[in-house]
């Protein structure tokens, strides 16, 4: 069940990467135009599912849900920042 941790990472990672790429390469908008809505939708769906599911999970699973949500959000911010500041890409 630890795969739950990874569920929350994909949406913010796609969203952060696509927005950071678009900021760094404004003429190359075709990829971010496709990936940003997918990342936003995945983020919304997985985080709303996690928030609905959180009160009913066992106490030893709650840290995985909360940790996965925090890690996903931080990964999206870090990817965006790394692309925006030219560290990668």
Q: pLDDT tens, 16-33? A: 999 999 999 999 989 899
* Tokens describing residue 53: 């599911």
pTM, rounded to two decimals: 0.86
DSSP state of 26: T
Q: Determine what percent of the chain is predicted with pLDDT higher than 90.
A: 69
* Tokens describing residue 39: 């990342």
Query: Average per-residue pLDDT in the chain?
Result: 91
């Amino acid at each position: 069940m630890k795969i739950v941790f990874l569920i929350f990472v994909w949406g913010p990672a796609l969203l952060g990467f696509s927005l950071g790429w678009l900021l760094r390469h404004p003429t190359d908008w075709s990829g971010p135009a496709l990936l940003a809505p997918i990342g936003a939708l995945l983020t919304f769906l997985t985080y709303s599912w996690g928030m609905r599911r959180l009160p009913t999970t066992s106490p030893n699973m709650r840290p995985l849900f909360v940790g996965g949500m925090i890690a996903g959000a931080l990964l999206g911010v870090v990817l965006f920042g790394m692309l925006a500041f030219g560290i990668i890409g």
